[in-house]
Amino acid sequence: MRTYLDHAASAPVRPEVAQQVAEDLASGLGGWANPSAQHTAGRRMGALLAQARARLASALGVDAHEVLLTSGGTEADALVVSGRARAVPGGRLVVSPIEHPAVLDSARTAVDQLGAGLSLLEVDDAGRVELDSVDQALAPAGSTGHSPASLVSVMTANNETGVVQDMAALVARVREASGGGRPGESGYVPVHSDVVAALGKVPVDFHGWGLDAMSLSGHKLGAPVGVGALVVRRDLTLTPATGGGRQERGLRSGTQDVVAARALALAVELAVAEREEQEARLAALRRRILEGAGALAGVHATLPEGADHVASTAHLWFEEADVEALLMALDLAGIDASAGSACHAGVTQPSHVLLAMGFEEGPARSTLRCSLGRETSPEDVERLLTALPAALEGARRAWKVTHKEQ
């Protein structure tokens, strides 16, 4: 039996969703009619698509016309970041340094290819955005020499550490600092949030927070890989990179996947409905991981006490440990977990999130993210804690070998 502790990367498809997808495919919803077609079969598919969009909007507390279907959170992030860069030539993107690469890389690409400006906000030792840095980033253009800001993007919950931002306070600070409190007012700067790691884990309130756009992904919630959404206000101007059939308000042309849209709607409905129950259960499991692992020498919780966090992510860092050896040993012991940092060409890189939080490169390379889900049991946690001491011992031996005489 394997223990799966990587739900933040991708969660198992929920049985209810799998059953609905199977029934949809068996009944002919697998794409034999285009939902944009005007014949009877097409109109039926179009009605089912509209129904799925309405259900998704209801679960998110937004209007149906604000929901644009995408292939996932990465595409949704890229659409809004690059869309603003194209809509406001020479404008400046303002993002936190702990964003998912879908935001950070899209912003850097916009700088290189579209001539956009880029400002990085500052974060504290927990990864929370320093609100004073918002004031500096959004100061009037004449006082800083910067171009006007075209977008602020800050993720609600970090995908690595699980730290949660106070989005309402952040949006309020953006409005105050920019001088534009409402869309259409001079100086108004739209705010986007990636809620992929937050939805179903903490309350998400698009309109209550005052957001202009937010991104979500289905496969983190129990839908199949390949479907997500961008929620975006009608009055937010985004310029697409491509043309086509003008589906999804002209921002994402192409035949819509009705089966996937229905799967996403059901997965979000279920995740939102059970959030409070799962949060209480997973908080106890997270606490057990942090306490059990923290009892080992040189093992530390990444987030400081008191930092708001999702209950489903336990993030650790290790003194003098080779994280690749640690992950391999856990894998051999039947534990699926992740480092929580990107791997390029087979070499684990230091986490850009931890570096932004003030960690040195060594600790930022030696991290473990245990992300829990609805399937995670107390027995799973105990299997991790049983396997961890030996895995850590091997990881420390590997570290000593690679750091000898350095």
Residues involved in catalysis: 343
Selection from 199, 186, 211, 225 nearest residue 56 by Cα: 199
Selection from 289, 362, 360 nearest residue 319 by Cα: 362
Helix H or strand E encompassing 380: helix 378-402
Q: Answer whether 203's CB lies under 8 Å from 168's CB.
A: no
At 115 the three-state DSSP class reads coil
For the record, the structure tokens of 145 come out as 């020499």
For the record, the structure tokens of 382 come out as 């105990």
CA distance 93 to 153: 8
Within 13 A of 23's CA, how many CA atoms are on the CB side?
8
CA distance 92 to 171: 17
Residues in the chain: 406
Instruction: Scan for tokens 């956009």, then name that residue.
Output: 116
Q: Which residues pair with 79 in a beta bridge?
A: none
Q: Beta 149-153 vs 343-344: how paired, if at all?
A: unpaired
Q: Which residues pair with 300 in a beta bridge?
A: 317
Within 13 A of 173's CA, how many CA atoms are on the CB side?
20
Which strand ranges, in their side-by-side order, compose the sheet holding 367-371?
299-301, 313-318, 367-371
Q: Answer whether 195's CB lies under 8 Å from 204's CB.
A: yes
For the record, the structure tokens of 208 come out as 């209550």
User: Residue 162 CA to chain centroid, in angstroms?
Assistant: 10
Q: Which residues pair with 67 in a beta bridge?
A: 231
Instruction: Scan for tokens 């955005």, then name that residue.
Output: 129
